[in-house]
Amino acid sequence: MKKIYLILFTLISVLLLTLAVPREGKFVFEYKEGTPWKYAPLIADFEFPIIKSEKSIQMEKDSVLRNFQPFFTKSMTTSSQQIKAFVADCKARRIQVPERYINYVIKQLALVYNTGIMSPSQMSELVSHRYQNVHIVEGQDAVTQSTSAIYTTRTAYETIMGADSAGYLHDVLALCNINNYLTPNLTFDKAKTQTAREEALNSVITSSGMVVTGQRVIDMGEIVTPQLKLVLDSYVQESARRNETNTNLWRQMPGQALLIFIILSIFPLFLLTFQPKYIENVRTLALFYGLICIFPFLSYIMVRQHWFSVYLVPYAMVPLFVRIFFDSRTATMAMLTSLLLTSIGLTGSFEFFVIESIVGFVTVYALREMTERAQILRIALFVVIVGFLAQFAYDMAANTSISDLDHSRYVYLVASGVALLFAYPVMYLIERIFGYTSSVTLIELSNINHPLLRRMSKEAQGTFNHSMQVGNLAAEVANKIGASAQLVRTGALFHDIGKMLNPAFFTENQSGVNPHDSLTDRDDMAKEEQSAQIIISHVTQGLQLAEKNNLPQSIRDFISTHHGRSKTGYFYIQWQNNHPGETPRDELFTYPGPNPFTREQAILMMCDAVEASSRSLKEYTEEAISALVNKIIDGQVQAGYFQECPITFRDVQDAKRVLIDSLKTVYHTRIAYPELNKDKQNGLGIHWPHLLGGNRHYHHSKKS
C-alpha cells in the first residue's frame, strides 16, 4: 500500500512539472549587454532578419505619426441648408437688418463652410496629437487642409463678426444671430484614418539586415555589444516563432515527461534501497516530493515568463529542510534530484548545476544538527561566500576578465542567500503542516521554563524529578545506539504530564499518605480497578494536556506509548489475590497504548520502567542493578512491546549496558571515612563532625 503512494506522488509530480517545463526550443540562453558570452560559439541554423531595437522602431513610428494626416468627411448639404435657413428667417422678418448685411452674412457663411467647420472637441484632439494637416474628403476628392485654417463654431463666428469691421457694424451683425446658422460640417472618418495609420506604421522598416544560415553570431567570451544584442534578440524572436510553428506537442511533451520521470525516479529508488522506513509515512513522502518539485516548478515558470534569473531561487532550502528533519544522505539525494529537474528547463544547465550543487553540499555539511536560530544566518553566509567563489572560479575558467564579469549574477547569489533566511518561518510551517519536529523546537520545548514543566515542578515535584532522570538516562542510551537524544530527552520530560491532575495517587509524589488506601469497592468497579483506572488516566489526560498546549505530535506519541499496551501490574495482581477464582476484566488494567513504534519510544519505555523500579531496590550493588535492568527489559521484549519498532537485539543489549552503568553512577556506594585517634584529635584540635559539617551522607567507621 505504501508503494502505491510512492507511485502516485511520482506520477502527480511528473504531470505538474511536464505542464510547467519550458517549450521555447533550443534558445534559452541568458545574456546581457556589456557582459561576455559564456556559452559555446553560436552558429545560426536558419536565416533571419536583424530586428531593430524597440526604441529605434518606436522613434521611427513617432516620426511617421507626426506627419500623419487624419481624414475628415465634409458634408455637401450642411452649408446650403444653413444659408437657406438664414435667408428664410430674413424674409420672414425674424431678422431685420439692411440688405447689404444679409448679403454679407450669406457670403461669409459660404466661405467658412467651404473651408470647413468642426466641433471644438475634435479640434482639441487634433491639437493634442499635433496634427499639422488633415485630409478633407468631399465626394470623391480629398484635399489637404492646414489644421490651423479649419474653423470651429466659435472661431467661425468671430471671423464673420470681424471680417469687415469697418464696413459693417458689430451691433447690427449681432442682430443676425449668426450662431444659429453655424454647425460643424466636418466629421471624423475613423475607418479611413485607421487604415491610413496602419499603412503608415507598416511602412516603417523594422529590420536592419539579415543573418544567413551558417553564419557565426557570437563567439565564447565575446562581449555582447548593443549591435550583437540586437542580433541575439532577433535570433530569439525567430527561434520562438519557428518553435510555435513547428512544435509538435504530441512528440515533445511525452519526451519531456519521460525525461522528468527518469530523473525523478532516482529519488524513490534511493529510498527503497537505503531508507525504506521513509516510504511508510505518507506525510514524509508528501514533504519530500513537495521540496524536490517546488523549486523546479518555480524555475520553469520564471524561464517561460522571462522573470529575472533562476539564480535568485534559494535551492539550498531543499537540502536544508531535508537535513533538519531527516538525514544527510537523503538531503544530498533530494538536492541532486531537484537540481537535475531544474536543469531540464535551462540551456546553460552545466554552469547552474555546478554552482548550485556546490552550494547544496556546503549546506548539508554546515548543518550537522539544528540547535539554534543563528545557524541559519551562518549557513546563509556560507552559501553566499561559497557561491561567490564557485561563480568566480567558473568565470575565470571560461577566460573571462574581471572587468567583463556579469555582476548581476553575483547580485543574484547574494539575494538567494538572503532568501535563505526565510527558512526559519518556513520551517515552522512545515512542522505545523506535516507534523515534524525540528531540533530547535525540541530544544525550546525542553526548557524547564516551559509552562507545563514549570507547573509540573510545582504540583508534582516527584514526577518532575523522575522525568528529568528518565530524560538523562534515555539520552545516554540514544547516543549509544544512534537514535535522537534530543527527541527522546524532550519526550521524557513530557511523558508523565498527565500525573499533574492527580499527583498524590503516584508513589513518587506521596509523603506517607496513599490515597489508594481510602478507595472502597463500588457496585460497578472494585477498588483495585478504580486505582488502575486512575493510574492509566495519566496517559489519556496527558494527551489532552499536550493537545491543549499545542505540543507536537512526536511528543504526544511518547505520552501514549511509554507504557504501550502493558498492564498496571501491581493492582492487577492485587485484584487477583483479593478475588480468587474470578476472571479479571483485563481492559480495566491495560494502558490504551499503542506500543512503541520508533526506537526513541522504545528507549523511553525501557528507561521509564527501569528508573521507577530502581527506587524500590533494597541495595544498590552492581548485581542488584544488573538483575533489575535485565529482568525489566527482558520482560518487555518477551511481552512483544517492541515488535512494531525498528530496534535490534544489539540496541537492546547496548541499552542494558548503558542503564546499568548509569544507575551504578547514580546510586554509587559512598566511602566510609576513618576516625582519627582521640589523642591525635586532641593534639591537632580537629573534630571530624565539625570539619565535615555534620553531613549525613558520610559514614564514620568504628575504631579498630
**Burial state string for 314-340 with b = 16 or more CB within 10 A and e = fewer than 16:** bbbbbbbbbbbbbeeebbbbbbbbbbb
Judge whether residue 398 has pLDDT over 90.
no
Nearest partner of 700 among 689, 686, 687, judged by Cα = 689
Strand-pair partners of 151: 117
**Could you tell me the pLDDT band of residue 702, with boundaries at 50, 70 and 90?**
very low
Nearest partner of 473 among 635, 560, 600, 593, judged by Cα = 600
Q: Is the peptide bond before 592 cis (omega within 30 degrees of 0)?
A: no
| Position with higher pLDDT, 622 vs 603 | 603
- Model pLDDT, residue 281: 86
Element (H, E) at 137: strand 133-138
Judge whether residue 693 has pLDDT over 50.
no
At 40, is the secondary structure helix, strand, or coil?
Answer: coil
Compute the distance between CA of residue 5 and CA of residue 14 in angstroms, rounded to an integer: 14
Task: Give me the half-sphere count of Cα atoms (radius 13 Å) on the Cβ side of residue 583.
Answer: 1
| Position with higher pLDDT, 700 vs 338 | 338
pLDDT in tens, 647-690: 999 999 999 999 999 999 888 755 555 666 655 444 444 433 33
Q: What is the mean pLDDT of residues 415-437?
A: 88
Compute the distance between CA of residue 27 and CA of residue 19 in angstroms, rounded to an integer: 19
Nearest partner of 12 among 354, 284, 336, 260, judged by Cα = 260
- Model pLDDT, residue 231: 87
Nearest partner of 410 among 315, 311, 296, 307, judged by Cα = 311
Q: Of the given ranges (6-20, 28-42, 568-582, 664-678), which has the lowest mean pLDDT? A: 664-678
Judge whether residue 699 has pLDDT over 50.
no
Element (H, E) at 128: helix 120-128
Task: Give a three-class secondary structure readout of 392-461.
Answer: HHHHHHCCCCHHHCCHHHHHHHHHHHHHHHHHHHHHHHHHHHHCCCCHHHHHHHCCCCCHHHHHHHHHCH
The order of strands in the sheet holding 71-74 is: 141-146, 133-138, 71-74, 186-188
**Could you tell me the pLDDT band of residue 619, with boundaries at 50, 70 and 90?**
confident
pLDDT in tens, 235-253: 888 877 776 665 556 677 8
Judge whether residue 534 has pLDDT over 80.
yes
- Model pLDDT, residue 635: 95
pLDDT in tens, 253-281: 888 999 999 999 999 999 999 998 888 88
Judge whether residue 384 has pLDDT over 80.
yes
Q: Of the given ranges (303-317, 445-459, 521-535), which has the lowest mean pLDDT? A: 303-317
Residue 610 burial (CB < 10 Å; 0-12/13-18/19+)?
A: buried
Compute the distance between CA of residue 617 and CA of residue 625 in angstroms, rounded to an integer: 8
Structural domain spans, the chain: 1-22+258-436, 64-203, 440-519+528-668
pLDDT in tens, 428-470: 899 888 888 888 888 889 999 999 999 999 999 999 999 999 9
Compute the distance between CA of residue 348 and CA of residue 29 in angstroms, rounded to an integer: 6
In single-letter form, the type of residue at position 689 comes to P
- Model pLDDT, residue 688: 36
- Model pLDDT, residue 686: 40
| Position with higher pLDDT, 510 vs 252 | 510
Judge whether residue 695 has pLDDT over 60.
no
Q: What Å distances lie between residue 693 and 39, 197, 669, CA to CA?
A: 83, 109, 20
In single-letter form, the type of residue at position 199 comes to E
Mean pLDDT over each residue of the chain, to the nearest integer: 87
- Residue 622 CA to its chain's centroid (Å): 55
For residue 69, give the C-alpha cell.
Answer: 494626416
pLDDT in tens, 41-99: 888 888 888 888 888 888 888 888 888 889 999 988 999 999 999 999 999 888 888 99
Instruction: Write the CB contacts of 601 (distance below 8 Å, at least 6 apart in sequence).
Output: 491, 557, 558, 561, 562, 645
Among residues of the chain, what percentage have pLDDT more than 90? 50
- Model pLDDT, residue 673: 55
Whole-prediction pTM:
0.64
For residue 360, give the C-alpha cell.
Answer: 547544496
In the CATH hierarchy, which top-level class contains the domain 440-519+528-668? mainly alpha
- Model pLDDT, residue 698: 36
- Model pLDDT, residue 170: 87
